[in-house]
Structure 1
Amino acid sequence: MWIAIAAVLAIAAAATTWAVAGRDDPPAGSSAATPTSTVSEPPVEERMLAGAGAILKTRAAAVLTGRLSQYLQYVDPANKKLRERDQQVFANLRKLGLSRLSYQVDANWAPEVQAQHGPSARAVRVLMLIQIAGIDAAPRATGLGYTFAERDGRWLLVDDDDLAAEADLKAYREPWDLGAIEVARRPGVLVVVPAGERGNAERLARESQAAIPIVRSTTRRVPAGILVIAMADNRSMDPEWRTGGHPAAAVAAHNFAPANPEASEFKVVGSRVVINPGQRTRSGRLLLAHEFTHAAMGQLGNSAPTWLVEGFAMYVENRLAAQNGYEQELAAERRTLLREKISALVVLPIDGVFHGDYDEDSYGVSWIIVEYLVTKYGQAAVNSLYADLARGPDAPAVREQVLRKHLKSSETALVAALKKYDGPN
């Protein structure tokens, strides 16, 4: 998600020179020398960075204290559309209930000249670090493209969509950038929907709370909270969030934050769940339990095999389904999978062809594998196995070693045991 492009800014120190008159009176007939000064003006980019830093600090403080006039203070008065967008963003951010907000110019991206806004105008990448109270354990970063220009000795924010290098801004947008929003809160849950869909927000909040207990009891992990995004605008879903060749119904998207002051490296600090716009009014507790499981396990690392990542989430989802009266349907599905898929298993599902080998049954096959592991070895052992595999590295020899460590079994022996499995006791 984050590609750093090194930017080298030439910073020239300001130099001052003085022509100083002698102490003695000047010779007759000559004029007295007058002290003069010439100050070399700092380069445009240096001035822009200083001006942008002050503007961004002011805007962050304005959001946290609820001062719209301060937020708009340095927005170009001539750009009415920008001011209207900013006013809506401000209102949306206030609804989220933020505990922390800051902005910083990303020094890893070179400023881009934007002559259409004047000779001093530069577009820069800005990292917005945002933390929702009661939801995020740490601020997460999201990218912005801001253009700053000097007008009458005063730096202003003049546009927000000029940065050519920010292709990701056209593919995915944060919910507060997509028009007016409404939110619904429950302990540990914040649901964001478009304005006018309050009823769906409340429904999703209730469904989220119904899903959380089984996720926590199975994963043994308790995230601070979860943000659920259910917008109507397709830009709320990244086009790359796909599964089996088609757009995902929902995704647990990682939250990233700078791992160093230079923001040249990033680390995972949590997740948010984004529901496909086409599924937002139909999604319920089972889908949410699946994605919440991904969110809970995501910080462990990304090297676990796909069959374990998806199988674990399916296991949690189906446990909740059983609690909600779907035991017979699950039993029928289990019998079919055991008879038609598990009996033909040769190796554990392979990452690169996870969907290709079993098509939509890949998830079911993975569920059976995890259900068997929990039945045979216990939940704690499976959780430990997951944690070790997630840390990586992602290599067949390492995975085999971890299987032997936690299960006292090789992959070959595990596949053979799966073929004898006939369901939980």
Structure 2
Amino acid sequence: MTEAGRHSRHAAARRRSRVWPAVLSLLLVAGAVGGGLALHRSSHSGDRTDPVAGAPSVDQAARSAAVDAILKRRSQAVLTGDEQAFLADIDRSDRRFVTKQRTLFANLRQFGFASIAYQQLAQQYDDSIAQKYGPSTYLIAVAMTYQIRDIDVVPVRAMLGYTFTQRADGAWMLVSDSDLDKRLPRGSHQEAWDFGPVTVKRAQRALVVVEQGQATLANKLVAMSVSAVHAVTKNWPGGWNGAGVVIALDDKIVRGADYTQPKNAEDALAMATWGYRTLPGEVTGAGERTDSYVVLNPNNRAKVDARTLAHEFTHVATAPYGPYAPRWLVEGAATYVEFLPMSGQKDLAITQYRLDVQRKYLAKAKGLPTDDTFLDQADRSYPLSWLALDYLFTRFGGVEVGTLYRELAALGSTQKERDRIMLEHVGMTEAGLFRALKAAAAA
């Protein structure tokens, strides 16, 4: 595998070589709850006056019960395909909102949910929104818990913000589902069904989402996804029985992926974005993670191939292990699987590539890529990470590498813990591994 020309930070060479992966790391920009948003469920005990200027006294328990009933009707409507029930409690005078809700319902129906539910969290307060909708305005953070059939291993939680007002007859109605968007935590919001009309295509252990009318792209991505799923299942230690979700929309901010950022927009091909078992702020500040979905960069969609998806699906396979594995291990493992022989893909010149990385990158390096500087020095970080995993797999075998990954991801939150785990499993620290790479190159 030889270098063929200059490559941008995440651009893939598709000539004779593949210098380093065409992807960003498993990425989420949602470490904290945005805007101080409180997530715990509010307590409703008796009548109180809401702290909104001019608001009348409200029976909060009755209001909460009414909103719970609306949320239950909407979730059941998605499962049963009842559009009228889904739209029953919205503001019918707002034609634009009605159209948006029809699109949302049509999108949700395509995903094939095994379960879906909406839960009120804490009431929010915004004077400008109260002024817009009137004194009965009820702005609430809502958790959406869902499980896509044959895709999600466990239920996934996302966050929404709903605005309700009370009609003249006393009934409550939904008037907006976007007033809290800017305050919701990144990565647990803006799912694939929240944008314009989409088309969802399925295959065994794969699901692809594209803009409506892009069936050709969907079929192409489904074929790539199936190939990539098989590759990760075959090559990841212990196998993998999960599924791959690929989101290829024109929108530049979807889930945790943000392709409006200049470096991402230019260089990245895809990002694997975390899903949540518990939301940021519910149990831990960062949330408890589960599966992840892959979001393609709309600017570079044509450059994505099955190997790109194999890289990303390796991130998907390892996402449930935990967030603490060093980045060189996370990216090195995904690149290692990406570069292995793959059905339908030309084999890569690994022996030559190993020599090239030793000569061009390892010779000048002073250590393994660090978490803080990994992406700033991506041109060398990715190949050096691949080299480290190539060495570990060759010397210790897949079972030991897989176990090492699991423990580092679950427990490696400090350098002391990382060193302890590395010594236990491979008899060397990260610094020792770098020295071993140097010695192997010299030999």
TM-score (norm 2): 0.81
Which residue of the other structure, out of 382, 387, 391, is the alignment partner of 1:372? 391
SS of the residue corresponding to residue 373 of structure 1 reads: helix
The 10-residue stretch of structure 1 (332-341 or 411-420) with the greater mean CA deviation from structure 2 = 411-420
Distance 1:95 1:240, change over 3 A: closer
Secondary structure of the corresponding residue to residue 222 of structure 1: coil
Structure 1 residue 297, shift from structure 2 partner: 0.6
Aligned residue among 320, 325, 328 for 1:304? 325
Match among 164, 167, 182 for residue 199 of structure 2: 182
Matched, 1:402 2:417: no
Say which one has the larger Rg.
1
CA deviation after TM superposition for structure 1 residue 170, in Å: 11
Q: 2:38 is matched with which residue?
A: 5
Letter in 2 for 1:182: T
Provide closer, same or farther for how the CA distance between residues 83 and 382 of structure 1 changes in structure 2, counting only shifts above 3 A: same
Aligned counterpart, 1:115:
131
> Per the alignment, in what secondary structure is the counterpart of residue 98 of structure 2?
helix
Q: Whole-Å Cα distance in 1 between the matches of residues 264 and 42 of structure 2?
A: 43
Q: 1:242 to 1:164 in 2, by over 3 A?
A: closer
Q: In the alignment, which of 302, 319, 327 is matched to residue 281 of structure 1?
A: 302
Shift of 1:85: 0.6
Between 1:136-145 and 1:295-304, the stretch displaced more is 136-145
Q: What residue number does 1:88 align with?
A: 103
Aligned to 2:371: 351
- Identify which range, 314-323 or 62-71, moves more after superposition: 314-323
State the distance in 2 between where 1:207 and 1:164 align.
33
Quote the Cα distance in structure 2 between the aligned partners of 1:131 and 1:157: 24
Distance in 2 (CA, whole Å) between partners of 1:172 and 1:9 is 21
Specify the code of the residue in structure 1 equivalent to 2:402. N
Give the total of aligned pairs: 394
Find the aligned partners of 2:177 and 2:415 in 1 and give their Cα distance. 46
Partner of 1:133: 149
1:422: how far off? 5.2
Per-residue deviation at 1:162? 2.1
Distance in 1 separating the partners of 2:207 and 2:334: 21
What is the alpha-carbon distance in structure 1 between the residues aligned to residue 297 and residue 270 of structure 2? 5
User: 1:161 & 1:295 partners in 2: Cα distance?
Assistant: 29
Identity %: 31
1:240 is displaced (CA, Å) by: 5.0
Question: How do 1:194-343 and structure 2 match up within 5 A?
Answer: 194-219=211-236, 220-236=238-254, 238=256, 245-247=263-265, 248-258=268-278, 263-265=282-284, 266-320=287-341, 324-328=345-349, 330-343=350-363
1:145-186 deviation line (CA, Å, top 9, x unaligned): 111111021111112222376255899622212111111111
Partner of 1:73: 88
Cα drift, residue 81 of structure 1: 1.0
Preserved contact between residue 12 and residue 42 of structure 1 (Cα < 8 Å): no
- Does 1:363 find its partner at 2:411? no
The 3 A distance-change label for structure 1 pair 312 and 241 is farther
Are residues 368 and 403 of structure 1, via their aligned partners in 2, closer, same or farther at CA, if it must alter by over 3 Å? same
Give the whole-Å Cα distance in 1 for the aligned partners of 2:438 and 2:283.
48
| 1:394 positional shift | 2.1
- Structure 2: which 5+ runs fail to align? 1-29, 49-55
Q: Decide whether aligned partners of structure 1 residues 43 and 278 sit closer, same or farther in structure 2, where only a CA change above 3 A counts.
A: same
1:349 is paired with a residue whose SS is coil
CA shift for structure 1 position 118: 2.4
Contact in 2 for aligned 1:244/1:360 (Cα 8 Å): no
Distance 2:41 2:226 in 1: 49
**Where do residues 388-399 of structure 1 align in structure 2 (5 Å cutoff)?**
388-399=407-418
State whether residues 122 and 147 of structure 1, in contact with CA within 8 Å, keep that contact through their aligned partners in structure 2.
Answer: yes
1:270 Cα deviation from its structure 2 partner:
1.1
Say which of 200, 210, 218 aligns to 1:193.
210
SS of residue in 1 equivalent to 2:439:
coil
Whole-Å Cα distance in 2 between the matches of residues 388 and 264 of structure 1?
Answer: 21
Q: 1:278 is paired with a residue of what secondary structure?
A: coil
Deviations 1:20-78 (A, max 9, x none): xxxxxxxxxxxxxxxxxxxxx97254443222111000010011000111111111111
User: CA 1:123–1:97 in structure 2 vs 1: closer, same or farther (change >3 Å)?
Assistant: same
Match for 1:383 among 402, 405, 409?
A: 402
Question: Using CA pairs below 8 Å that are at least 6 residues apart, which structure has the higher relative contact order?
Answer: 2
- Counterpart-to-counterpart distance in 2, 1:105 and 1:240: 27
Corresponding residue for 2:7?
none
Question: In structure 2, do the counterparts of structure 1 residues 244 and 396 end up closer, same or farther at CA, with 3 Å as the change threshold?
Answer: farther
Partner of 1:29: none
Distance 1:319 1:225, change over 3 A: same
Q: Give the conservation status (yes or no) of the 8 Å contact 1:143–1:169.
A: no
Does the aligned pair in 2 maintain the 1:126–1:144 contact within 8 Å?
Answer: yes
Which runs of no fewer than 5 residues in structure 1 stay unpaired? 16-40
